[in-house]
A and B are shown apart, each in its own frame.
Chain A
Amino acid sequence: MVAHNFRHAFFCAVITLIIAWPILGFKLVAEGTQITVNGASAFTWIAVAVAAFIVFLFQLFRDRIMGGLGGLAELNPMADREPMPQEKRVRLENIGLGVLIAIALFWPFFVSRGSVDLATLVLIYIMLALGLNVVVGLAGLLDLGYVAFYAVGAYTFALLSNYWGISFWMALPIGGLMAALFGLVLGFPVLRLRGDYLAIVTLGFGEIIRILLNNWTSVTGGPNGIGGIPDPTLFGMEFGRRVKEEGNTSFHETFGIAYAGEHKVIFLYLIALVLAIITAFAIRRLMRMPVGRSWEALREDEIAARSLGLSRTGVKLSAFTIGAFFAGFAGTVFASKQGFISPESFVFLESAIILAIVVLGGMGSQMGVILAAIAVTILPELAREFAEYRMLIFGAAMVLMMVWRPQGLLPMRRRQIKLKAET
């Protein structure tokens, strides 16, 4: 046992050295047109050696350390408390939700423009994650190309406004439906694949859409993207300093207040908030409807579900399509917020981040997903100095989650149904 641990620890330390040595030990320095390789300072070398030693020690005493940490959970006073009765929990949740929505409605009027902007982005990610949660968390289909539907929504709005001058409110449902249509068409041939195969094919689709957008220069502008995407209007009132569209009025003139850039930002935030709330409620209902139950059933046991008359393709397609619809929604809002989009915004990393939010939040749980979306979007902004380590922190967080809470921050709770005969 000890010998085995020792060998394992030694092996891990060597791996650490092999990985850290070339990555941290050499620096490429540009001198004019030449690039030369410089060795790093002695300090770096010592740091690498110390790191390897720490890895060695940790692995050597791993069982004991992990055992000690496992005991920590018992320090949590809430750990073995009885679960609340459902009625009480639902009441508490509703009050909490109401307060949360009230705060969300009013706080943008008291904070800086930058924060509101960031909050809008958070809301967009919440919509995306809630939509992906349907596909991954509920239906159990690992979709690595979800960002493609986000892109479809964004580009639908951008192109419609560019070529036909269609407004945000018109484009919103069209963007969602367009993305849903893509989900349907792309989903049809691939949904008979399972697990890993499905993941790889969807990953491919995500890339195909992005590459298509990048190369179809005559229509999409290629890597240059599309600019001049209009902001949403409020009953025909624009939020810009000057009115751009014939027949529209301007918000600040109508109300006789001074022009302020914040109005537009706050308005966008409020739209995103309302849409996110609609998304959350719609999906919550869907989960309790026959279609939501069949997603879960198919995930739990496909053979049993089919033996009860559920069509595999039909059920999976509905999850895929509905998930895509909400991504299209989010994409439209995103295009309007940015005013400019390019394929850069729809790289695989985005899919990975949305998926990470779903996994961190607890597959299938809405509250968990919302919390995770907030954390994943805001933390990197708060810790800008660590921007380089963002991916590292991300990875570490995922690993820790898998060790301690594989079910996510807030795992899904089943709704209790009261049957009449019971009373």
Chain B
Amino acid sequence: MLEVQNLSMRFGGLLAVDQVSLDVQEHEIVSIIGPNGAGKTTVFNCMSGFYRPTGGKILFEGREIQNKPDYKISRLGLVRTFQHVRLFGRMTVVENLMVAQHRHLNTNLLSGLVATPDYRAREQKALDRAAYWLERVGLMQQSNLEAGNLAYGQQRRLEIARCMVTEPRLLMLDEPAAGLNPAETRELDQLIISLKEDYNVSVLLIEHDMSLVMGISDRINVISQGRPLAQGTPDEIRNNDDVIKAYLGEA
């Protein structure tokens, strides 16, 4: 469903991403790993429309998206989280989820002002969907707290819930386990697998936690210094000499 072909991104003199290709099929969890500064987040930023790539193509369900503005890309069903959590901190947890669903709501000003039946029905449906996902990620008790006051692990889960209420086709997670304790990481592990199994969402994952990556990925892409280093199943990657060298060289 997603195909990235020879993607390059240059910042002035720095070639942050150099000819990276990868693909994600339906019903698949694909990971991107690589040392710090390898260009993983930059790949995400190109795919989600924050950067306009300086080279290459990105196809999502057959359509080229590399020149589309960010908000249009996410409306196609390609939604992401951020390496540093980005919530609407002074809005409540429910409100965060309602903002994400604006596409499913009746945004006509007049129908909202007079609260037409259609407006109310959609608003209620969105609230129900929000409630469902809050239950799912265990944040029901916190539904009316300001998002900025949540604990870090809760913020991470809220960010994922906020993506899920948009009903995406492909979810891109940028280091979702960063800053989580081992128990939380295990829960996350379960959640990501369930997203794929129960909600038919494909996942593209950036992660440094190797046990998480090796455990849940169907395929893995390794990038180092902007260049693709290897791709394959977890077993192939574990035994790849180049990868071992790159990681040992870093450590």
Q: Which of B29-82 contact A (CB under 8 A)?
A: 48, 50, 69-72, 74-75, 79-80, 82
Could you tell me the distance between the alpha carbons of A421 and B143 in the complex, rounded to whole angstroms? 11
Beta-carbon contact of A310 and B94 below 8 Å: no
In the bound complex, residues from chain A placing their C-beta under 8 Å from that of B107 are: 289-291
Beta-carbon contact of B109 and A291 below 8 Å: yes
Given A291-B109, A419-B140: A308 in contact with B100 (beta carbons within 8 A): yes
Q: Tell me the count of chain B residues lying within 8 A, CB to CB, of chain A.
A: 45
Q: For the complex formed, measure the closest distance between the CB of B113 and the CB atoms of chain A, giving whole angstroms.
A: 6
Could you tell me the distance between the alpha carbons of A414 and B70 in the complex, rounded to whole angstroms? 29
Could you tell me the distance between the alpha carbons of A294 and B127 in the complex, rounded to whole angstroms? 16
Beta-carbon contact of A293 and B102 below 8 Å: yes
Could you tell me the distance between the alpha carbons of A421 and B166 in the complex, rounded to whole angstroms? 20
Which of B86, B103, B106, B128 sits near A304, CB closer than 8 Å? B86
Q: Which of A247-306 contact B (CB under 8 A)?
A: 282, 285-286, 289-291, 293-294, 296-297, 300-301, 303-306
Tell yes or no: B219 within 8 A of A by CB.
no
Given A294-B99, A300-B91: A309 in contact with B112 (beta carbons within 8 A): no
Interface stretch among B129-137, B182-190, B206-214, B220-228? B129-137
Q: Which of B85-113 contact A (CB under 8 A)?
A: 86-92, 94-95, 98-100, 102-103, 105-107, 109, 112-113
In the bound complex, residues from chain A placing their C-beta under 8 Å from that of B72 are: 309
Beta-carbon contact of B91 and A286 below 8 Å: no
Tell yes or no: A218 within 8 A of B by CB.
no
Question: Using an 8 Å CB-CB cutoff, how does the interface string of A379-423 with B read, 1 for contact, 0 for none?
Answer: 000000000000000000000000000000000001011011110
In the bound complex, residues from chain A placing their C-beta under 8 Å from that of B163 are: 308
Given A289-B112, A293-B91, A301-B87: A306 in contact with B131 (beta carbons within 8 A): no
Could you tell me the distance between the alpha carbons of A312 and B74 in the complex, rounded to whole angstroms? 13
Tell yes or no: B240 within 8 A of A by CB.
no
Given A304-B87, A309-B75, A311-B71: A286 in contact with B112 (beta carbons within 8 A): yes
Tell yes or no: A307 within 8 A of B by CB.
yes
Q: Tell me the count of chain A residues lying within 8 A, CB to CB, of chain B.
A: 29
Beta-carbon contact of A422 and B140 below 8 Å: yes
Question: Among A286, A307, A422, which residue has the most Cβ atoms of chain B within 10 A?
Answer: A307
Beta-carbon contact of B130 and A308 below 8 Å: no
In the bound complex, residues from chain A placing their C-beta under 8 Å from that of B80 are: 307
Tell yes or no: B3 within 8 A of A by CB.
no
Q: Which of A343-362 contact B (CB under 8 A)?
A: none
Q: Which of B137-154 contact A (CB under 8 A)?
A: 140, 143-144, 146
Cβ contacts A to B, 9 pairs, < 8 Å: A289-B107, A290-B106, A293-B95, A300-B87, A301-B89, A308-B71, A308-B163, A311-B71, A414-B92
Q: What 9 A-B pairs come out closest when comparing CB atoms?
A: A304-B86, A300-B88, A289-B112, A419-B131, A309-B74, A297-B99, A421-B131, A416-B144, A309-B75
18 A-B pairs besides A303-B50, A304-B87, A417-B143 with CB distance below 8 A are A286-B109, A289-B113, A290-B98, A290-B105, A291-B109, A297-B91, A297-B99, A307-B79, A307-B80, A308-B100, A309-B71, A309-B102, A310-B102, A312-B71, A414-B146, A417-B127, A420-B131, A421-B131
Instruction: Give the A-binding residues of B (Cβ under 8 A).
Output: 48, 50, 69-72, 74-75, 79-80, 82, 86-92, 94-95, 98-100, 102-103, 105-107, 109, 112-113, 127-128, 130-132, 134-135, 140, 143-144, 146, 162-163, 166
